[in-house]
Amino acid sequence: MTATRRYPRTGIGYDVHRFEEGRELLLGGVAIPHERGLEGHSDADVLLHAITDAVLGAAALGDVGLHFPPGDAKWKGADSRELLRMAVALVEDAGWILVNVDATVVAEAPMVNPHSAAMRLEIREVTGLPIDAISIKATTNEGMGFVGREEGIAVIAVATIAPGDSDNE
C-alpha cells in the first residue's frame, strides 16, 4: 500500500469571554491595562483560546474544551500560553507543522493594536513560528451586540498547518 500524500490544512477558531471585575486582562499572553479582565476557568485569554482551537482544528484534533475541559480542576487558572504550546505539540506529534496564524480581536475596548506587536512576540515564543507568520488584528462591533455593549471580547482565528517533512518525501 502506498502512503497518501497530505496537503496543507486550515483550521478556524472562535472564542468569546465576558468581562469580569477584579481580573487582569490577558490577550495573546500580554497583560493589557483595562478596568476589567475576562471571566474564565483558565486565565481567560480569549485570543490564545481561539488560536488554540484553530491549531487543533486544522489537524482535526478537536478543540480546547476536549483537551483542557473547563470543569477539570487541573486547568483552573491555567496559563493559556501553555495550553497553546501543548496544542502545537499535539499537532506536531500527529505529523504536522504549524505554518501561520491570523487572528482578529473584536472589542470596543481596550484598544488592541498598540499591544499587537507584544502579542505577536509572545505567540512566536510559544509556537516557534517566525514573526512574519503571525498576524493579530483588531476591530470593533460598531456598538452592536454583546461586544458593542462592552460585555466581552470575541476572537476569530485561522491557523494553517502543513505535513511534516517525512510526509512529503
pLDDT single digits (tens) 24-54: 999 999 999 999 999 999 999 999 999 999 9
Whether the link from the prior residue into 110 is cis, omega within 30° of 0, is yes
**Residue segments in the chain with a per-residue pLDDT below the cut of 50:** 1, 167-169
The pLDDT assigned to 166 comes to: 59
Residue 169's pLDDT is 42
Domains observed in the chain: 9-167 (3.30.1330.50)
Q: Report residue 59 as a C-alpha cell.
A: 489537524
**Cβ pair 153, 16 in contact under 8 A:** yes
Measure the CA–CA gap between 61 and 141, rounded to whole angstroms: 31
Give the pLDDT confidence score for residue 15 in this predicted structure: 97
Instruction: Note the pLDDT of residue 1.
Output: 47
**Quick check: 68 and 75 in contact, CB under 8 A?**
yes
